[in-house]
Amino acid sequence: MPKTVTKKPMKTRTMPYDVAQQLRTAEEMAAYLDAWLDEAPDDAAGIARALGDIARAKGMTQVAKDAGLSRESLYRALSADGNPSFATVLKVARALGVKLHAEAA
């Protein structure tokens, strides 16, 4: 009688996804932020995280320097638990080279 060979199921390997690695151009960064502003305009924490993703893509140290903030305070302000002031959001947007705009709803 032949011996039955059972194969072990292959384990699925996953890796954490980091959107910052996908944001390579200024256009991609602006489109990403614009999508957040369009799709979740009331999600202030999400929009702050989106700014943080873009800042990580550009380099937090340089963005912090350009915004006139310490790197630590920038990380804290743009984290999931952060609550940046509007002034900080404006400084970061300027340092990132993106513009916020308004249109009639």
pLDDT for 66 equals 96
> Other CB atoms closer than 10 Å to residue 102's CB: what's the count?
6
Q: What is the mean pLDDT of the chain?
A: 90
DSSP 18-43: -GGGG--SHHHHHHHHHHHHHH-TT-
Can you list the domains of the chain with their CATH numbers?
46-99 (1.10.260)
Tell me the mean pLDDT in the region 54-58: 95
- The rounded percent of the chain whose pLDDT value lies above 70 is 95
pTM for this one? Answer: 0.81
pLDDT digits (tens, 9 = 90+) for 22-47: 999 999 999 999 999 999 989 988 99
